[in-house]
Amino acid sequence: MRYGFFSATTALALIASTGLAHAAPTPEQIAAAALRAAPVWDGHNDVPEQLRDRRHDVIAGFDFRDTTKEPLDDPRVAAMVPPGTPTGMQTDLTRLHKGHVGAQFWSVFVSANLTEQQAVQATLEQIDVMKRVIAANPDTMAYATSSADVEMAWKAGKIASLIGMEGGHSIGGSLGVLRQMYALGARYMTLTHFKNNGWADSGTDAPAHNGLTPFGKDVVREMQRIGMLVDLSHTSQKTMLDALDIARAPVIFSHSGAMTISGHPRNVSDEVLDRLKANGGVIMVNFFPPYVSAALRDWTAARAAEEARLKSLRPDRPDLTAPALADWDKGHAKPAVTIADVANHIDHIKARIGIDHIGLGSDFDGGSIGLVGLDDVASYPALFVELARRGYSKADLEKIASGNIMRALKGAEVYAAAHRGDAVIENATVF
């Protein structure tokens, strides 16, 4: 026994001295291996909104291989872009490839300020324009409406392209419209956007319904019956809890963060995270700087307060506000928001409810501008390297990249298949 022990020890020393021992993989190697095994499946990208704002849904001449110089002439969009930031889009096929993106929920967002009838039309137009973009790039993109379609696209080396609706106002208060949106390809619906609708409270509006109305609860039931993922991003905490009370299949947050890390009402409390774990759902972590960073949120509130103070002191001299506010800016540096801040949200969610409930929902081309290290869709590998540095394994990273959202979608599909024979939930049409 002693002889054998010393022989093994000597052999190990010899291996080490001759350089035959394998070094531990670097964070870069772990991240690269994970992304080769499991491409990124992002929960929320607003290319359709950009096409509407920049091109009014006319894509003649639009080259999705390179959008870095795509003109920006809409002042509403320009106002969101920090000075000095490139005004091209954050998404194109070249950068999606660099970012190892293999599946994308394209958000068909329309403003919550529209009437319900206007919103229905605008949503149909957004679905149409995104389908036309996918059809125009058949060598790179594949339209997908199911987990099987996603897997087929991956085998073909294409980007699986799914559609998600952002805001329940898009169904015009009609379960019939909801079912037709599903028939047209929508595979999730965010129950609200920044304002309440007629049946659900938003997280960024004064409560009107105490969560979901009875009709709102029927919306959730019918979404799950037909196999559409229920997306709770943007909703109030009471709406989240009401939906989780009803849900029998996994739900998602397509682009949200952890409220414990940043207290913005767009983020998700620990109470709701715990319920999400029990539900089997997924929170897809967002890159929108004001939601990511508590320091930036506080700075923004302080700056707004200072601007209001200046205006109230000299209402007769509005020309004085801008220079005085510029002086305030010089003494109050805007906090930088970095890739580490996003990783902090992921760390908290992992510690609270485990690795099986985390995904990514960037909100690129919808407001996620100015986050250091996550500039555009080519940047995902940098986040995976940061997570690997923090001790995340290859298996952990594969789940975050796409494994968890694939499981959630399959869960929704299984539930819908089991309830295919259930009666359609109807609501009376009101003119």
> What is the structure's pLDDT at 3?
34
Same domain, 322 and 365: no
- Residue 108, SS3 per DSSP: strand
Number of folded domains that form the chain = 2
Q: What is the mean pLDDT of residues 190-213?
A: 98
Nearest 5°: the CA angle 177, 178, 180 is 60
| Active-site residue, from 46, 49, 242, 398 | 46
Q: Are strands 229-231 and 282-285 parallel, antiparallel or unpaired?
A: unpaired
Same domain, 315 and 372: no
Whether 169 is catalytic: no
- Residue 58, SS3 per DSSP: coil
Q: Is the pLDDT of residue 17 over 70?
A: no
Q: Predicted confidence band at 326 (pLDDT cuts at 50, 70, 90)? A: very high
- Specify if 424 maps to a domain: no
| Active-site residue, from 53, 70, 100, 193 | 193
- Specify if 17 maps to a domain: no
User: Within a 10 A sphere around the Cβ of 135, how many other Cβ atoms?
Assistant: 10
Determine the structural domain holding residue 111 and report its residue range: 24-290+337-418
- Residue whose C-alpha is closest to residue 409's, from 103, 86, 7: 103
Q: Which of 302, 318, 336 is the last residue of a domain?
A: 336
Distance CA(105)–CA(359), nearest Å, equals 12
Same domain, 329 and 341: no
Signed CA dihedral, 245, 249, 254, 255: sign only: positive
Cβ neighbours of residue 198 closer than 8 Å, sequence gap 6 or more: 116, 169, 173, 213, 215
Cβ neighbours of residue 361 closer than 8 Å, sequence gap 6 or more: 42, 43, 44, 105, 233, 253, 254, 255, 256, 284, 285, 286
- Residue whose C-alpha is closest to residue 338's, from 381, 292, 379, 299: 292
- Residue 320, SS3 per DSSP: helix
pLDDT in tens, 256-278: 999 999 999 999 999 999 999 99
| Active-site residue, from 100, 169, 209, 255 | 255
Cβ neighbours of residue 106 closer than 8 Å, sequence gap 6 or more: 45, 47, 48, 130, 161, 162, 163, 164
Same domain, 53 and 65: yes
Whether 332 is catalytic: no
Q: Predicted confidence band at 429 (pLDDT cuts at 50, 70, 90)? A: confident
Same domain, 54 and 180: yes
Whether 413 is catalytic: no
Q: Predicted confidence band at 428 (pLDDT cuts at 50, 70, 90)? A: confident
- Specify if 8 maps to a domain: no
Q: Predicted confidence band at 431 (pLDDT cuts at 50, 70, 90)? A: low
Same domain, 155 and 304: no
| Active-site residue, from 42, 53, 363, 386 | 363
Whether 234 is catalytic: yes
Same domain, 257 and 348: yes
- Residue whose C-alpha is closest to residue 93's, from 158, 39, 7: 158
8 Å CB contact between 370 and 289: yes
Same domain, 225 and 169: yes
Same domain, 323 and 403: no
List residues bridging with 360 in a β-sheet.
42, 285
- Specify if 428 maps to a domain: no
> What is the structure's pLDDT at 5?
34
What CATH number should be reported for the domain holding residue 149? 3.20.20.140
Q: Are strands 101-109 and 40-45 parallel, antiparallel or unpaired?
A: parallel
Write out the two tokens for 235: 């909703």
Q: Which of 321, 336, 351 is the last residue of a domain?
A: 336
Q: Is the pLDDT of residue 21 over 60?
A: no
Q: At what angle do helices 270-279 and 237-246 cross, to 10 degrees?
A: 20
| Active-site residue, from 42, 49, 53, 166 | 166
Whether 270 is catalytic: no
Q: Is the pLDDT of residue 1 over 50?
A: no
> What is the structure's pLDDT at 82?
65
> What is the structure's pLDDT at 2?
35
Write out the two tokens for 226: 């037909």
Q: Predicted confidence band at 6 (pLDDT cuts at 50, 70, 90)? A: very low
- Specify if 251 maps to a domain: yes
Distance CA(328)–CA(333), nearest Å, equals 9
Same domain, 323 and 376: no
> What is the structure's pLDDT at 73?
67
- Specify if 227 maps to a domain: yes
- Specify if 13 maps to a domain: no
Q: Are strands 252-256 and 159-166 parallel, antiparallel or unpaired?
A: unpaired
pLDDT in tens, 85-104: 778 999 999 999 999 999 99
pLDDT in tens, 62-91: 999 999 999 876 666 666 666 667 789 999
Distance CA(119)–CA(55), nearest Å, equals 18
Write out the two tokens for 16: 């080490």
Write out the two tokens for 130: 């995104």
Same domain, 243 and 155: yes
Residues of the chain with pLDDT > 70, as a percent, come to 91
Q: What is the mean pLDDT of the chain?
A: 93
| Active-site residue, from 234, 264, 345, 348 | 234
Whether 22 is catalytic: no
Whether 363 is catalytic: yes
pLDDT in tens, 415-426: 999 999 999 999
Same domain, 34 and 168: yes
pLDDT in tens, 333-350: 999 999 999 999 999 999
